[in-house]
Amino acid sequence: MSALQFVVVTGMSGAGRTTALRALEDLQFFCVDNLPPPLIPRLVELLDGRQLERVALGIDVRTGAFLTGATQALDRLKKRGPTEVLFLEAQDADLIRRFSETRRAHPLAASGDVPGAIERERERLAELRAYADIIIDTSSLSVHELRRQLVDHIARDKGRGRMLTRVVSFGFKYGLPVDADLVFDLRFLPNPHFVPDLRPLTGLDSRVASFVLGSEEGAELLSDLTALLGKLLPRYAREGKSYLTIAVGCTGGQHRSVAMAEALGKALSGVGDIAVEHRDRPTETP
């Protein structure tokens, strides 16, 4: 049983846990959802000798009082084989919108108070969130994007086992990415928003990228960040970190941060596995 791989999927209701489990099932994981943590040792015993290689377990707030002691149960699970705990979350506004659109009831909102239920759920899951190996903020992810991210991550683990580094652009006016490990503020760079011809474009456009990165401040920052992160990434990987999120932000998340994220992704491509994402969803320009 020591060769059996476990992935534990937990997190906020409405953040994509069911989608994640379905994606893992498509990857030939044996999936068990809504499992009370005290039953994990018993499940492992039942699966022993079943010729399974990978198992995914879904744990969420619906288990109620059984959440108590969840981390201790996961500690025991990690002693049996490779185990990764994935925590999915999203901004309150996105969770509220999803429950409204799907007309699903929040498991803790018996009286219909979804915002209050989300707050209580965050409190109950705080220990599991702190315990997690990977935290993914699904606020700006579609169902397909979340699935693709999970597939890429599992495939990477099965193959080379290298750390995946995400470079994420964002706008400060929409809040910090909650899963960011490192945050860099680019609001001191020249702003294309104040150039009429560049304002409707995004950092994906070469004209905006040239304006931002061609400035003295932009070129110097790109050089400094490339040198710094080129040293840091191998050290994070050496410490066993499997997932690192670098967030670069400007005011609206459309121009400076997008251009810098794209440039950093290319500059760091030789250091490891790099994925570039734009949280506040700029659209590609002609």
Tell me: the pLDDT tens digits for 24-68?
887 788 999 988 888 888 888 888 777 788 899 999 888 877 788
pLDDT band of 207, cuts 50, 70, 90: very high
Location of structure tokens 């999970």: 150
**pLDDT of 286:** 33
Instruction: Please state, for a pLDDT cut of 70, what percent of the chain lies above it.
Output: 93
As separate numbers, helices (DSSP H) first and strands (DSSP E) second, the chain gives 9, 9
**pLDDT of 156:** 61
> Is the pTM higher than 0.75?
no
Domain ranges of the chain: 5-158, 164-278
Q: What is the DSSP letter of 148?
A: H
Task: Tally Cβ neighbours within 10 Å of residue 64.
Answer: 11
Strand 30-32 with 54-58, pairing:
parallel
Q: Which CATH number fits domain 5-158: 3.90.930.12, 2.60.120.380, 3.40.50.150, 3.40.50.300?
A: 3.40.50.300
Phi, psi of 256 (to 5 degrees): -65, -45
**pLDDT of 238:** 74
205: alpha, beta or left? (left if phi > 0; alpha if psi -120 to 50): beta
Phi, psi of 137 (to 5 degrees): -90, 115
**pLDDT of 48:** 77
User: What confidence tens digit (pLDDT) does each residue in 127-160 have?
Assistant: 999 999 888 999 888 887 888 788 777 766 554 4
Cβ–Cβ < 8 Å for 18, 107? no
| Cβ burial, residue 268 (10 Å; 0-12/13-18/19+) | buried
Task: Tally Cβ neighbours within 10 Å of residue 168.
Answer: 24
List the structure tokens of 13: 């209701």
Task: Compute the average pLDDT of residues 250-267.
Answer: 96
Residue length, the chain? 286
Q: In this structure, which amino acid lies at residue 279? A: R
**pLDDT of 12:** 92
Question: H/E element holding 239?
Answer: none
**pLDDT of 1:** 40
Of 198 and 241, the structure prediction assigns the larger pLDDT to 198
Instruction: Please state, for a pLDDT cut of 90, what percent of the chain lies above it.
Output: 48
